[in-house]
Structure 1
């Protein structure tokens, strides 16, 4: 039981770190892009991953974790897939309205459930599906405004959904199948994610903003916010891999929508963003959905633990009975010979 409580404490810590770091970086990036005019999101993400890799390399040298080599082909494909998904999400935001982009993010949860059900034979109870529906309804009400469709934007959104879902499922699968920690996987894959975004980022950003990141006038304030954003990103990237590894891609997406609600609330409180009764109703519905999801997941986990614990004595009994029986038979046979 002590191990179980320790594991639950670790999960809660990972969830808290993910929420706190993600909300912090959104507020920091919003100030950087909206107030200071630095709108090169894809390039900034490549810098985030570079700083993350460098930080992990220092941590490795200081023996904070042990490096565990992973098959190079797996790491390269995994890193490139995650890098491409980030670029596609940014392009989706550039080609679509804010409302349709939010719908794209909402679609990641049901698509992840579908993929895990088909390819990983994972079962989701009706209660879990119902709670996810309530959550998606609430986030949709709170964040989705207009839905302006266009062919290119729709294709980019579909590709972004597919690559993001596969990337997050692989994050969970690789950690469990290859028995590597979130830190080890992030350390191995971050250089490849950073490389593909570093090469493509300036072109994507210029296409979306009609500005060149190389000719931007960097003031000390902008550089300070960029450095702060990169430092926070270390915790964001680490907690992302940690949460997906300890829980599941679906739980991570649920957590992501909690962050959306918190960002809306903090934006209204700190940055005085417009806030309507629709936002409030949507956030409240989303919180109800998250509470239901958390409650049902906790109950199902406890039920599974109880079943596993109850079957252990039976397994032991089944394992020891044949050995005991054979031992007695051998003894009887020996006695009969004598």
Structure 2
């Protein structure tokens, strides 16, 4: 019971860290991009990942965690996939309207459920599906305005959805199957994510913004916000891997939409963004959906634990030759830091 209580506290801590850090970086990046005129979202993300890797490297040198070697091909493909997914999300925002981009983000949850059902044989109850549907409807009401379709934007959105879902599922699967922690996986994969974005970021940003990141005139206040954004990103990246490892990719996406609702609220109270009755209704519906999802997940997990502790299941476990291995945990780059940029159409990570 003590071990289970400690695990639950760890999950709560991971969720809180993810929400706090993600909302903080969204507000920081919105100020940087919308108010200070720094629109280079993809390049900024590569800096986030480089700072994250350097921070973890120093922590590993001081023995804050033990480095565990992972097959190089697995780590390289995983890192490149996550880096590419961030690029596709930014391109999706650049080629689509804000409303269609929000639809792209909403589509990640049902597509993740579909992939896990088909390939991982994971079962989702009707109650869970209903709560997710209610959540998506609420976020859609609160955040989706215009829906303008175009062929290139639609293709980029589909690629963004696929790469994001596969990357987050792999984040969970690799940690559990290889028994590595979120910190170990992030430390191994961050250099490859940073490298792919460092090379492609300036090109993507120049195509989307018609500005050159290397020709930009960096004022002290812009540099200060960039440094702050990179420091917060360390927590964002770590908490992303941690949450997905401790829970699931679907739960992480649900948490991401909670952050969207919080960002809308903070934008209204702190930055005086426009806010309507539609926003309020949508956020309330989304919160109800999140609450039901949390309740149904907790209820089903308790039923599963009671089933595992029953005499019949214990006898079955004793006769079984396959031990259950507990996956360590994780967290990853915030692709949901891709929050709505009305003036720059830039996303954040």
Q: Report the TM-score when normalising by structure 2.
A: 0.90
Structure whose residues are more often helix by fraction: 1
Structure 1 residues 28-43: aligned runs within 5 Å: 28-43=28-43
Change (3 A) 1:313 1:202: closer
Q: Distance in 1 between matches of 2:60 and 2:311?
A: 41
- Aligned twin of 2:81: 81
Change (3 A) 1:37 1:179: same
- Aligned twin of 2:253: 253
Q: Distance in 2 between matches of 1:40 and 1:214?
A: 10
Change (3 A) 1:54 1:299: same
- Aligned twin of 2:218: 218
8 Å contact 2:53–2:190 — kept in the other structure?
yes
SS at match of 2:310: helix
Change (3 A) 1:167 1:314: closer
Q: Distance in 1 between matches of 2:207 and 2:22?
A: 26
8 Å contact 2:182–2:242 — kept in the other structure?
yes
For structure 1, the residue ranges without an aligned partner over 5 or more in a row are 320-338
Q: Distance in 1 between matches of 2:318 and 2:33?
A: 64
Higher-Rg member (1/2)? 1
* Structure 1 residue 2 corresponds to structure 2 residue 2: yes
Structure 1 residues 148-227: aligned runs within 5 Å: 148-227=148-227
Q: Distance in 2 between matches of 1:312 and 1:10?
A: 30
- Aligned twin of 1:19: 19
- Aligned twin of 1:328: none
Q: Distance in 1 between matches of 2:225 and 2:133?
A: 37
Structure 1 residues 1-338: aligned runs within 5 Å: 1-311=1-311, 314-315=314-315
Q: What do residues 166-205 of structure 1 show as CA deviations (whole Å, max 9, x unaligned)?
A: 0000000000000000000000000000000000000000
Q: Distance in 2 between matches of 1:144 and 1:22?
A: 20
Change (3 A) 1:158 1:53: same
CA deviation after TM superposition for structure 1 residue 310, in Å: 1.0
Q: Distance in 1 between matches of 2:229 and 2:99?
A: 26
CA deviation after TM superposition for structure 1 residue 311, in Å: 3.7
The aligned length equals 319
CA deviation after TM superposition for structure 1 residue 317, in Å: 10
Q: What do residues 98-120 of structure 1 show as CA deviations (whole Å, max 9, x unaligned)?
A: 00000000000000000000000
Q: Distance in 2 between matches of 1:73 and 1:317?
A: 35
Q: Distance in 1 between matches of 2:206 and 2:257?
A: 29
Q: Distance in 2 between matches of 1:312 and 1:28?
A: 54
Q: Distance in 2 between matches of 1:173 and 1:236?
A: 20
Q: Distance in 1 between matches of 2:9 and 2:140?
A: 31
- Aligned twin of 2:333: none
Q: Distance in 1 between matches of 2:33 and 2:41?
A: 8
CA deviation after TM superposition for structure 1 residue 271, in Å: 0.2
Q: Report the TM-score when normalising by structure 1.
A: 0.93
Q: Distance in 1 between matches of 2:77 and 2:133?
A: 32
Q: What do residues 52-87 of structure 1 show as CA deviations (whole Å, max 9, x unaligned)?
A: 000000000110000000000000000000000000
- Aligned twin of 1:334: none
RMSD: 1.1
SS at match of 2:26: helix
Q: Distance in 1 between matches of 2:318 and 2:101?
A: 55
Large movers: runs of 4+ above 6 Å:
none
CA deviation after TM superposition for structure 1 residue 8, in Å: 0.3
